[in-house]
Chains A and B, each alone.
Chain A
Amino acid sequence: MEKTRPLWATPLQFVFACISYAVGLGNVWRFPYLCQMYGGGSFLVPYIIMLVVEGMPLLYLELAVGQRMRQGSIGAWRTVSPYLSGVGVASVVVSFFLCMYYNVVNAWAFWYLFHSFQDPLPWSVCPLNGNRTGYIEECEKASSTQYFWYRKTLNISPSIQESGAVQWEPALCLILAWLVVYLCILRGTESTGKVVYFTALLPYCVLIIYLVRGLTLHGATNGLAYMFTPKMEQLANPKAWINAATQIFFSLGLGFGSLIAFASYNEPSNNCQKHAIIVSIINSSTSIFASIVTFSIYGFKATFNYESCLNKVILLLTNSFDLEDGFLTANNLEQVKDYLASAYPSKYSEVFPQIKNCSLETELETAVQGTGLAFIVYTEAIKNMEVSQLWSVLYFFMLLLLGIGSMLGNTAAILTPLTDSKVISSYLPKEAISGLVCLANCAIGMLFTMEAGSYWFDIFNDYAATLSLLLIVLAETVAVCYLYGLSRFESDLKAMTGRALNWYWKAMWGGVSPLLIISLFIFYLSDYITTGTLRYQAWDAAQGQLVTKDYPPHALAVIGLLVAASTMCIPLGALGTLITRRLKQGDTAPVA
């Protein structure tokens, strides 16, 4: 008796699964940064163009391949052409690397979530030093939110060489994170299909709540105005276009094999064209929506810091010149400063070095991305809101949902090929395979809970997936269009779904998208080569800020290994198939 392939209960579950996979942490912490760096409102122009030209066609391609082949990435590409089994294996390897480090973010989100139930929030006050006369020095030099992140959460070491020991608190949170992921993927599509209702819809509820709260914050309009004023000259900057293309590419999660895995559980007659368009539009709109929220929070934080800076200057002047309390305000500050400079020149020149130049623009210009945005900037803004515990819980709950939603896709990319393989699935049931994969990832993930773990996290984040994915998707597009044959694929789709393939998709798959990917690849390579030695940001506890250091040789070796491990699978797979075929031909030749 053959086991029928498990299916999504409704097409809606499939759409929600794709949305919760594609809408992840990158939408919240990468897109607002890019928007700020590359011209604010005008960044939307290259972004939308790349979405239509690159995002939608490639997404449709992956979903169509998965739905047609009805297998995970390894099996699907082997069906397309036996020489392409390497592409599937490369996808699985990249997904494996991604799973290893991505869940650490969920562990950190859990850590912050559990700490949000305290009054006051632990990152809003500096802890006292030994004899209770002041605050801990590191916390004074940096800020309380930075101290909580670098010291209490990560307990970061000064450089990547000093690994330190495994920190038990993040390790516990990591175990919990993997347990939650295991719970969600335990039963395959049956359990995943129900979980994605939450992971897809609840983040939007929280985002809407945050939007309303963010827009009503004092100073939010400063941030929004700063972000959305278009700087048209950035359109001429090639980096803006390249970053838009890269963002679309990685945000949709192409090339990991997750989309192929999800689509393989579809009914063959499913209209994946409509779903591809819906998912890509929702993903991009969520990015824009999240950046509105982020920028209103930025504006609030910048205004708050600007006003604190002004208040400090006012206090300094009031104390030094014994002016009446409350006399100096932000409005008359400049006049009074001029007056004091002329009236008491000697005293003023003493005080002058301590007077900081407070500027709202410099506060707004501090552009942050990644974990810094999520765990330092946002927490700094949250601690200044009323009822900060509630906002903190909501925010980290949303981060968790986004992260776990993406993890469902990542693990599906690994598990679907494994469960499809008859060898493995005959020995072990699905639950055991999932359990083993989660256990292996959790054990390796303990590396990221060591004192230097954050530096290794950055290595994986920057290098594990970038180059390899470009190659994989390029191989996929070329394979479908030229190896399998575009007309053959077109007739397959027509037989499967009953709809003819639009000329637009054919044009994109055949010409535009591969060219775009090749140009992205060339840009990345040249960027790596021209920068010379790779560097990273290390936290210096004595100074209370980040310093730039060079990677040591063993870290560079790991980077090279990461990139090679996945990219080499493609040629090795083709080579392996060639060799086995030759051997078989050699065996059969004398008989013939």
Chain B
Amino acid sequence: MTQPDPVGSSIPIRVRKKTRAYVILTVMLPCSHRATTMRPNDNNVTREHTGRSKAKELTAIRADLCRPDAENAFKVRLSIRTALGDKAYAWDANEEYLFKAMVAFSMRKVPNRETTEISHVLLCNVTQRVSFWFVVTDPSRNHTLPAVEVQSAIRMNRNRINNAFFLNDQTLEFLRIPSTLAPPTDPSVPIWIIIFGVIFCIVLVATMLLIISGIRQHRRKNKGPSEMEDSEDKCENVITIENGIPCDPLDMKGGHINDAFVTEDERLTPL
């Protein structure tokens, strides 16, 4: 089946300009893979044919508006298999229709462009990658809308376009339209200071407790030996009087002398 459309927009994968690369690549692809990509397109081919023949005149006019590196054209690149793995869907004419719809939707949000229709969005040069170029024409279909407008419209609605295809900024790339990177979530107080404060306070409290208990122990020890020293002095005095009577400090504090002991000791000392 040959295509009258020289630009080759929305061509199903099976029917392509036969390049050497394509031949070898299709040979290299496993058969089952080809089958899954080929099957859904059969119906679309016939539908596209009938649509094409009706709009033949218009395509001739629009043909030169959409081509690689055209004036207000943007290249789009999708990495569906990278993003979705086994759940990857095939890129076919329906997906392209959705894409056109999303672009038209984005343009409608721009003031003065509320009348943008899906048919104003043109796609061309779809490759196996999947990548393609697109332009947006004005209602007269003679001129393309300025790149700046298209750029700002796409940027505003980037998230919704991404979500429509289950992709993100990295897997659905609009070359020459930089995406606004997500701003970092800066909490008002950095988290690390909170944790630092908690641990600092715990350590400080523990240190204070240890120091205070250490001081208390010191004081108890100081009182203890000084008491011992006082009573030892008293013992000494008593000893000088009593000749080696073992003195109990607490008892001696009162200054009482046990007469019984004295007499016993006198009894014990010979001569």
Contact = CB atoms under 8 A, between A and B. Distances in A.
A252 to B, nearest CB: 30
Contacts of A343: 20-21
Interface string B178-221: 10110110000001110110011001101100110010001000
Between A128, A132, A183, the greatest number of chain B beta carbons within 10 A of the residue's beta carbon is seen for A183
Nearest to A179: B203
B240 interface: no
B196 A322 contact: no
Interface stretch (A62-70, A110-118, A560-568): A110-118
Given A128-B181, A132-B181, A114 B195 contact: yes
A400 to B, nearest CB: 11
A186 B128 contact: no
A21 B211 CA distance: 25
A339 B25 CA distance: 11
A128 B211 contact: no
B207 A114 contact: no
Contacts of A327: 25, 28-29
A186 B207 contact: yes
Interface in A289-332: 318-319, 321-327
B127 interface: yes
Contacts of A183: 203, 206-207, 210
B141 interface: no
A331 to B, nearest CB: 12
B interface majority secondary structure: helix
Contacts of B107: none
Contacts of A487: none
A127 interface: yes
A187 B214 contact: yes
Given A127-B184, A183-B207, A343-B21, A322 B192 contact: no
Given A172-B196, A176-B196, A179-B204, A325 B181 contact: no
Given A128-B181, A128-B184, A319 B129 contact: yes
Interface string A387-407: 000000000000000000000
Contacts of A182: 207
Contacts of A339: 24
B195 A324 contact: no
Contacts, number: 87
A341 interface: no
Interface stretch (B47-55, B74-82, B109-117, B255-263): B74-82
Contacts of B181: 128, 132-134
A191 interface: yes
A132 B218 CA distance: 62
B131 interface: yes
B207 A176 contact: no
Contacts of A180: 203
Contacts of A133: 178, 180-181
Contacts of A196: none
A125 B186 CA distance: 14
A332 to B, nearest CB: 8
Contact of A132 (B78, B82, B183): B183
Nearest to B217: A187
B131 A322 contact: yes
A312 to B, nearest CB: 13
A125 B127 CA distance: 33
A324 B203 CA distance: 60
Contact of A179 (B193, B200, B225): B200
Contact of B80 (A127, A176, A325): A325
A103 to B, nearest CB: 14
B153 interface: no
B130 interface: yes
Given A117-B192, A176-B199, A186 B210 contact: yes
A318 B199 CA distance: 52
Contact of B183 (A128, A172, A326): A128
Contacts of A127: 184
Contacts of A118: 191-192
Contacts of B88: 326
Nearest to B178: A133
A1 interface: yes
Interface of B: 20-21, 24-25, 28-29, 77-82, 88, 127-131, 178, 180-181, 183-184, 191-193, 195-196, 199-200, 203-204, 206-207, 210-211, 214, 218, 225
Top 8 closest pairs, chain A to chain B, by CB: A326-B81, A114-B192, A322-B127, A324-B128, A322-B129, A325-B81, A114-B195, A183-B207
6 contacts: A110-B196, A117-B191, A127-B184, A132-B181, A172-B196, A327-B29
Given A183-B207, A322-B128, A339-B24, 10 more contacts: A114-B195, A114-B196, A187-B214, A191-B210, A319-B131, A322-B127, A322-B131, A324-B129, A325-B130, A431-B211
